[in-house]
């Protein structure tokens, strides 16, 4: 891959003249091009089979309004040539995700999806939810569309196969079976209530079921139930009946279970009024493992083919594609996308746009879901826009705010203090913009809410001035909401004056005289406090924002407190990370026992090298 023409030409030109100058320097190599504005911000990233031919296309008339605007704003271009078109396609989608150019279709929500992991590093394997890199040894089944879909399936699988979900250290420390055994969700391997051979059979059955071979599993269980019944072992027969019911429950909760589609993502796209919804159904092992909707950023004149291609490239950039992608809309470079995804997966990936049969029925279902989801979202957006107009009117703002930041603190008598910031805008809560602040102030009096808020706001504005000094990246708030009355507002106003950001409106939300929900008072600098009518939708909206900030701050505080409770002297030893800490605690039972251990015992712990054992020993014995 080589970079080419990544500097501005000598003469400052924009629009068609700028592009024409670059065309003269290009050849027919495949590659990726970037269009930049006068401030070197990336406007658009595109790929090309033939860079010269592709960029020359911009010189011809007849472009849409969106492309015309983009051309007019172009002041320079950058090029990267690649060896193949496939490489260009992968690089293009990678750059779009990184740079988020204004004129590209952009997938905004791109989290990883959970899997079910049957761990294989123990004589009695554990079954659990797993998200992220597949580093643990074991069999992975997924992806599932949501944590809820995984939890429901795990719940039923525990009933059906009685596999443990406890951690290894918990397993080793048990002397009697836990509650899960009592409620028939586990077979009690921790205290020898099932043999290793029988437990492994249950693990194999669970894997067969998750691999789509569920009929055989249910037939075997039915035979065992009949045999137990004939032998008059009625309690055992009832247990087996409950396990069969649990498997049936998994299948019925999945809704659609296609016979002719073993492994595929069914992707339906619906567009309306310049907005789009992409609905993805995950079909694995002939079972529906849930669906998820996405709302990519699109323009008013973008074609379905362009949206679908951009979605595929960005969605599978960090995910393994299934064997089939069943699409509602054809894409222009289907052969190229198929080749790129097959190369990524290390096996054939097929792209289909079915016109009839079961696959077409699956697409019809995905499209119906996409249409309904987009209608709901557009209705919610209209309501949100109305509420933001109401906020502007209630608090005398120049225009409806695009970004509201709400702050709250949480602590217990000053300990484990954290600040939380939530963000809301035209599309509701912007959860990827939430921030937590660990309160560092050593000189703060425990419980000093003013001091904590000052620290949080100081850090926030300092960072904003560094990251977005020109206020053109959309990171600055249009309105600040603070939990508190006149005192809090005064303290925050001082910080704003100090940082030269007095132009940002700021409201303090305080409970009324009798602290009644619904009698909130609103405080502004230099003005008398006022209240909104009890039934005012804007009041409910502000309450929702404040409650969300409170929930987020409390959740962050609890997580910090839990971490502090689990802290041990081992955390201070360089080289002892989470895995080695677990290994030491599992082996010795407690940090105190580790501190008393001799060197030979430390060396005997799995995963602890002789050098690290010496370091741990020295840490506890060289302190006097």
Q: Cis (ω within 30 of 0) for the bond into 143?
A: yes
Q: Is residue 172 very low, low, confident or very high in pLDDT (cuts 50, 70, 90)?
A: confident
Residue 443 has what pLDDT?
Answer: 60
Q: List, in sequence order, the alpha helices (H) in 74-112.
A: 85-99
pTM for the structure as a whole:
0.73
123-135 average pLDDT score: 88
Whether the predicted pLDDT of 578 surpasses 70: yes
Of the chain, the percentage scoring pLDDT greater than 90 comes to 35
Higher pLDDT, 556 or 190: 190
Residue 490: strand, helix, or coil: helix
197-218 average pLDDT score: 79
**Mean pLDDT estimate for the chain:** 85
Residues 188 and 92: their CA atoms lie apart, in Å, by 52
β 479-483/506-510 pair status: parallel
* Residue 146: count of CB within 10 angstroms of its CB: 15
Q: Is residue 454 very low, low, confident or very high in pLDDT (cuts 50, 70, 90)?
A: confident
514-528 average pLDDT score: 76
Residue 216 has what pLDDT?
Answer: 63
Residue 250 has what pLDDT?
Answer: 59
- What are 12-54's pLDDT values in tens digits? 788 899 999 999 899 999 999 999 999 899 999 999 999 999 9
Residue 288 has what pLDDT?
Answer: 84
Residues 247 and 258: their CA atoms lie apart, in Å, by 17
Whether the predicted pLDDT of 254 surpasses 60: no
CATH classification (class only), 2-99: alpha beta
Higher pLDDT, 21 or 560: 21
CA distances (Å), 606 to each of 23, 313, 609, in order?
A: 62, 42, 8
Q: How many residues are recorded in the chain?
A: 624
Residue 9 has what pLDDT?
Answer: 45
What's the CATH fold of domain 264-374?
Nucleotidyltransferase; domain 5 (3.30.420)
Whether the predicted pLDDT of 142 surpasses 50: yes
Q: Are 310 and 104 in contact (CB under 8 A)?
A: yes
581-587 average pLDDT score: 81
404-563 and 264-374 share a CATH fold = yes
Q: Is residue 569 very low, low, confident or very high in pLDDT (cuts 50, 70, 90)?
A: confident
426-436 average pLDDT score: 89
In this structure, of 182-186, 461-465, 471-475, the range with the lowest mean pLDDT score is 471-475
Query: What is the biggest distance separating any 2 CA atoms in the chain, rounded to whole angstroms?
Result: 94
Question: Where are the chain's structural domains?
Answer: 2-99, 115-253, 264-374, 404-563, 569-621
What's the CATH fold of domain 404-563?
Nucleotidyltransferase; domain 5 (3.30.420)
Q: Are 232 and 244 in contact (CB under 8 A)?
A: no
Q: Is residue 1 very low, low, confident or very high in pLDDT (cuts 50, 70, 90)?
A: low
114-120 average pLDDT score: 90
Residue among 528, 529, 443, 450 at smallest CA distance from 491: 450
Higher pLDDT, 441 or 413: 441
CATH classification (class only), 569-621: mainly alpha
Residues 483 and 456: their CA atoms lie apart, in Å, by 13
486-499 average pLDDT score: 87
Whether the predicted pLDDT of 76 surpasses 90: yes
């Amino acid at each position: 891959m080589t970079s080419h023409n990544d500097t501005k030409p000598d003469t400052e030109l924009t629009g068609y003249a700028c592009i024409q100058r670059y065309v003269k320097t290009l050849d027919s190599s495949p590659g990726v091009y970037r269009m930049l504005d006068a401030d070197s911000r990336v406007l658009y990233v595109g790929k090309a089979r033939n860079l010269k031919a592709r960029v020359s296309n911009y010189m011809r008339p007849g472009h849409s309004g969106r492309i015309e605007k983009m051309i007019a704003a172009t002041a320079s271009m950058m090029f990267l040539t690649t060896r193949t078109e496939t490489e260009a396609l992968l690089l293009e989608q990678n750059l779009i995700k990184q740079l988020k150019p204004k004129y590209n279709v952009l997938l905004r929500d791109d989290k990883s999806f959970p899997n079910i992991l049957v761990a294989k590093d123990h004589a009695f394997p554990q079954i659990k939810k797993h998200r992220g890199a597949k580093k643990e040894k074991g069999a992975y089944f997924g992806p599932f569309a949501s944590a809820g879909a995984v939890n429901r399936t795990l719940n039923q699988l525990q009933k059906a196969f009685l596999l443990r979900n406890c951690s290894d250290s918990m397993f080793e420390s048990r002397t009697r079976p836990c509650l899960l055994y009592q409620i028939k969700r586990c077979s009690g391997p921790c205290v020898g209530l099932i043999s290793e051979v029988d437990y492994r059979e249950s693990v194999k059955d669970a894997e067969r079921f998750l691999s789509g071979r569920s009929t055989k599993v249910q037939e075997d269980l039915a035979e065992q139930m009949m045999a137990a019944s004939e032998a008059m072992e009625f309690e055992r027969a009832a247990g087996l009946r409950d396990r069969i019911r649990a498997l049936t429950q998994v299948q019925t909760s999945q809704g659609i279970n296609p016979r002719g589609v073993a492994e595929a993502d069914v992707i339906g796209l619906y567009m309306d009024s310049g907005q789009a919804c992409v609905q993805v159904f995950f079909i694995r092992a002939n079972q529906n493992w849930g669906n998820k909707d996405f709302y990519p950023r699109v323009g008013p004149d973008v074609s379905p083919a362009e949206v679908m291609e951009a979605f595929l490239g960005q969605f599978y950039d960090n995910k393994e594609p299934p064997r089939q992608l069943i699409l509602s809309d054809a894409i222009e470079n289907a052969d190229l996308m198929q080749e790129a995804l097959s190369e990524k997966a290390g096996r054939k990936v097929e792209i289909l746009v079915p016109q009839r049969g079961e696959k077409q029925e699956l697409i019809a279902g995905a499209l119906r879901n996409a249409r309904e989801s987009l209608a709901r979202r557009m209705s919610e957006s209209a309501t949100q826009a109305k509420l933001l107009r109401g906020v502007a009117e209630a608090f005398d703002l120049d225009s409806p705010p695009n970004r509201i930041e709400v702050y709250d603190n949480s602590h217990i008598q000053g300990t484990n203090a954290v600040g939380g910031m939530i963000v809301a805008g035209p599309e509701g809560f912007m959860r990827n913009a939430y921030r937590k602040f660990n309160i560092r102030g050593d000189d703060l009096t425990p419980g000093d809410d003013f001091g904590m808020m000052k620290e949080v706001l100081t850090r926030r504005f300092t960072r904003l001035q560094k990251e977005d000094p020109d206020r053109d990246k959309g990171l600055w708030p249009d309105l600040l909401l603070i939990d508190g009355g006149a005192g809090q507002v005064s303290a925050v106003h001082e910080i704003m004056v100090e940082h030269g950001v007095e132009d940002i409106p700021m409201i303090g939300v305080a409970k009324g005289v009798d602290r009644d929900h619904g009698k909130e008072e609103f405080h502004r600098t230099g003005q008398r406090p006022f209240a909104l009518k009890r039934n005012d939708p804007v009041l409910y909206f502000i309450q929702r924002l404040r409650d969300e900030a409170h929930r987020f701050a409390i959740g962050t505080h609890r997580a910090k407190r839990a971490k502090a409770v689990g802290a041990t002297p081992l955390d201070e030893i360089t080289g002892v990370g989470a895995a080695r800490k677990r290994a030491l605690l599992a082996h010795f039972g407690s940090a105190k026992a580790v501190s008393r251990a001799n060197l030979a015992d430390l060396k005997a712990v799995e995963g602890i090298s002789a050098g690290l054992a010496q370091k741990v020993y020295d840490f506890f014995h060289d302190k006097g």
